[in-house]
């Protein structure tokens, strides 16, 4: 019998998903990049407490959102050290394909803006505020 964790990993590997959350017969998937799908899940009506997750890239910002979602375990193809520290602090089991010092932005020329937003924050609730503030700022900048 396949565990929720194995199922999430398999769905991530076998499809074009960026993140997958599984528990029992339920599976939530997304093909969106960044923290947006996690924020959508956090704002949604589903209770994802106790779910197993698999994700392409998890940095500290995404790890904080996973804490708030209440997942019990996460597999990341790429995991930052800061993300791993968040999981350890909140007793969320994690596995990864590659551990990296930090998550790089999409241009490949610096640290991810979400990582930068939560760099000095240890509380996931405060981290969520910083993430939302940064996304709002980036959204305004893109519209100009």
Tell me if residue 127 falls in helix, strand or coil: helix
Q: What pLDDT digit, counting tens, does each position of 90-135 carry?
A: 999 999 999 999 999 888 899 999 999 999 999 999 999 999 999 9
CATH number at residue 134: 3.40.140.30
Q: What pLDDT digit, counting tens, does each position of 33-54 carry?
A: 899 999 999 998 889 999 999 9
> What is the percent of the chain with per-residue pLDDT over 70, rounded to a whole number?
98
- Per-residue pLDDT for 74 more than 80? yes
Could you write out the DSSP letters of every residue in 49-113? Answer: TT-EEEEEEE-HHHHHHHHHHT-SEEEEEEEEHHHHHHHHHTT-EEEEEEEESSPBPTTSSSB-H
Q: What is the pLDDT of residue 144?
A: 54
What is the domain extent for residue 82? Answer: 4-143
Task: Give the confidence band of 1 by pLDDT, cuts at 50, 70, 90.
Answer: confident
pLDDT (mean) for 25-30:
93
CB distance 63 to 143 below 8 Å: no
**Nearest by Cα to 12 from 52, 69, 51, 55:** 55
Task: Give the confidence band of 9 by pLDDT, cuts at 50, 70, 90.
Answer: very high
Please give the tally of structural domains in the chain.
1
Q: What is the dihedral of CA 123, 127, 128, 133, to 10 degrees?
A: 150
Distances (CA, A) of 134 to 21, 63, 68, 121: 25, 16, 18, 14
**Token pair of 44, please?**
């949604």
Task: Give the confidence band of 76 by pLDDT, cuts at 50, 70, 90.
Answer: very high
């Amino acid at each position: 019998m396949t565990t929720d964790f194995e199922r999430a990993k398999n769905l991530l590997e076998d499809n074009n998903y960026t993140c997958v959350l599984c528990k029992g017969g339920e599976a939530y998937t997304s093909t969106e990049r960044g923290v947006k799908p996690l924020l959508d899940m956090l704002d949604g009506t589903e209770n994802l407490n106790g779910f197993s997750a698999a994700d392409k890239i998890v940095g500290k910002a995404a790890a904080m959102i996973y804490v708030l979602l209440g997942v019990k375990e996460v597999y990341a193809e790429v995991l930052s050290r800061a993300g791993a520290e968040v999981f350890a602090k909140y007793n969320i089991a994690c596995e990864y394909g590659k551990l990296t010092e930090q998550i790089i932005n999409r241009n490949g020329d610096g640290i991810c803006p979400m990582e930068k937003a939560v760099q000095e924050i240890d509380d996931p609730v405060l981290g969520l505020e910083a993430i939302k503030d940064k996304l709002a700022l980036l959204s305004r900048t893109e519209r100009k």
